[in-house]
Each structure stands twice: as structure tokens, then as C-alpha cells.
Amino acid sequence: MGEIDPAFIQATDQRPKLKPTNPVADEIPIIDLSVLSSPDETRKVVSEIGHACKNWGFFQVINHGVPLELARKIEEVAKTFFELPAEEKKKVKRDMVNALGYHDGENTKNVRDWKEVFDFLVEDETLVPASPEPDDKELRKLTNQWPQYPPEFRQVTLRSFTSSDSNRLNGFAMNAHRGLPGVCSSGGKTGYKLLGLMALGLDQPENRFNDYFKDQQTSMVRFNHYPPCPFPHLALGVGRHKDAGALTVLAQDDVGGLEVKRKSDGEWIPVTPTPNAYIINVGDIVQVWSNDKYESVEHRVVVNSEKERFSVPFFFFPAHHVMVKPLEELLSDENPAKYREYNWGKFYATRNRSDFKKQEVENIQIHHFRLPE
């Protein structure tokens, strides 16, 4: 079997249990989006999503309107890319200057992840702060890197995810507001539908969050590949973490591996793959906007000793200039703001550059902006 690089070894208390002692009787909710044409059913879905956001921070959606053949094509080109020789993949390797492209050395909580990734922006040329320094007003332009092979890689991803192709496909394509992939259909389930349903659950207008994503949202897509790991008791595909953005939409294959930390008892609960479903999780920004009514929760990915795993998360990020703070409409003397505001672009710049090296202190988190009780 050989030896594992110590960089991959998780702390003893973070290592996965390969054989859970108790069967999982509790799983994240599965919510059917096909009923949204009915007002009564829409209210029911809003209630279900609100409950999931409060109690789990995660849920799955089915009947979301994404053509199955489109999802299969995306999986096919991603798999073909990851099968390329390492020297070919590294021609589009990302670094501290260019944050897009291929990467195989990411750290989570200062432990290396057992995975390789390919990242690209929804807006092909996106402005972000040049540095995380608060007084530095300079912006820099991020531009996607595209591999030469497979030759259809760029075309498939542009048509599927980005807003730069005039013949955008339905399903994963962006709507007129350049919204989320994975929940768009000709029936009007636009990319902003999920955030809209969350807003309704907070007794806010359905479009309450839309303006934060205008004028160069920083949203990105990641192709994840988790190779088989001979040390599943020591390593993780991704260590425990919370997502920093507003919302994440995840497509995963049938291998499984995602685990969510259950709020009620802190146990790690596996998310069973549901055919043609998308996994949705609340990000830190929504937690702040909701003033902790909705919660971003920790999750991780365990590895498989025999099978490789693929997944495709879409990270819904606002524009770089957005100041993130609790919604004024939700605040009162009884419910004061729990966070001071922070700039998303500076947060993004700090987080982005820290993925390439071990840190002396914990990476930036929203709890660093929490106000004293």
C-alpha cells in the first residue's frame, strides 16, 4: 500500500468513521420543485426550504428542470480532462496570481485535500480586489484559463454555465439575470428561484437578494475529482468547512462521499446520492443576511478506497463591491445585528490567496465579524 504523505493526514478527531456504529435514520430533506406553479404548493415549498435552512443548512431538490443529457455531457468532459496526463493538466494550473484553472494541492483547515479541481468563473472577465489590504482600492481582472484538451471542454462549459454564449442552453444556463445553474427551466424556474424562495421564507420580497449579484457577480463553478484513496481512514477529499458564498448548488455522481454535520448532535451524516437531484446548501453570506435565522453548516467529503468520485458545485457569489451585513428589515431591539458588515471582495481576496500555503492562523471566517452579545 505504501505510505501516505503526512500533508494529507487529518487530526485524530477529524478522521472519518469507516463503519458508523448507528444506521442513519435522519437525512437532509428532499424538496420537489415541480409544484411551484401552484400558490398553495409554493407556500409549502417555501416552508420546507425555510425549515431545511434553519435545521440542516442543506437540502436536495428534485424535478428542477435540468435536462439529464446536459448534466451527462458536463460530467463526460470533466472526466476526460482529469484523465489527461499531469503535465497536460498543469498547463492550466492556477496559482496565487491567476486563481482560475487546475489545482491539485488545496488545503482545508491546513490539511491537504485528496482531490484535484478545475475552477472557472461564470463571468469570464471578473473584477476583484487586487489585494486583501483594506486600504488598497485597486482592482484586478480574473480571466478563465481553458485547457486545449478535450477540444470541446470550453464550448460545453461556456454553453452550460457562463453568460458569454449567445446560444445558452436551458437548464444549467443563466437566465437574463445570470443566475444559478441547476434550477432553470422554460417553466420559469429561473436561476434566482432558490434564493427567492429563501427570501420568502424570511418574509422578504422574492427579489430581495437579486441586486447583490448585478454588475459582475463573482460566481464560479468547480469540477471536483476525488481519486481512489488507499488511506480512507486517514485522509479526506475535503476537510470540514463552511461555504463562504451565498448559496451552493452541487451535482454529484452516484458514488457518494459528502457528509453534513447534523446540528442537533454534531454527528456526520452522509448525503445519499439521489438520482438527478441537486444538493443545495446555505452559505455564510445568507447566514449573515438572515442574522443567523438560516445557518451555514460544516460539511466534508470522505474518500473511497476503490472508486473515484466526481462532483460539480456552483458557488453563487455576489459582486466584489457588495457589503455583507444583516438585512435591516430583520433587525429590532429584540433581534439586534449579530455581525458587523464586511466587503465581499476583500473577503474573497483573503480566502483565495490562502489556499496555496499553510497558515499561521485560521483562514478568514464570518465568525471574525461576529459582534459581541
pLDDT averaged over the chain? Answer: 85
How large is the average pLDDT for residues 153-180? 50
Q: What is the pLDDT of residue 276?
A: 87
131 in a structural domain: yes
How far apart CA 121 and CA 102 sit, in angstroms, is 13
- The rounded distance, in Å, linking the Cα atoms of 138 and 127 is 10
Distance CA 215, CA 225 (A): 31
Does residue 186 belong to any structural domain of this protein? Answer: yes
pLDDT tens figures, 39-54: 888 899 999 999 999 9
For residue 182, give the C-alpha cell. 441547476
CB 212 within 8 A of CB 322: yes
Helix (H) or strand (E) run with residue 41 in it: helix 39-55
Return d(Cα 197, Cα 203) in angstroms, integer: 10
Residue 1 covered by a domain: no
Per the CB < 8 A criterion, the answer to whether 78 and 61 are in contact is no
Provide the domain limits for residue 314.
6-169+176-369
Q: Are 101 and 94 in contact (CB under 8 A)?
A: yes
- Measure the CA–CA gap between 356 and 295, rounded to whole angstroms: 28
Q: Is the peptide bond before 39 cis (omega within 30 degrees of 0)?
A: no
pTM score, whole prediction = 0.90
pLDDT of residue 358: 53
- Number of C-alpha atoms within 13 angstroms, CB side, residue 255? 19
The reported pLDDT for the residue numbered 184 is 34
357: exposed, middle or buried (C-beta count within 10 Å: 0-12, 13-18, 19+)? exposed
Residue 304 lies in a domain: yes
> 352 φ, ψ to 5°?
-60, -45
Q: Look at residue 210 and tell me if it is in a domain.
A: yes
**For residues 211-231, average pLDDT:** 91
Q: Is residue 58 part of a domain?
A: yes
pLDDT band at 359 (very low <50, low <70, confident <90, very high): low
Spatial distance between the Cα atoms of 326 and 191, rounded to a whole number of angstroms: 23
The pLDDT > 90 percentage for the chain reads 58
DSSP secondary structure code for residue 99 in this structure = -
How many structural domains comprise the chain? 1
CATH number at residue 280: 2.60.120.330
In a domain, 236, yes or no: yes
Name the helix (H) or strand (E) containing 127: strand 125-129
- pLDDT tens, residue by residue, 294-326: 999 999 999 999 999 999 998 999 999 999 999
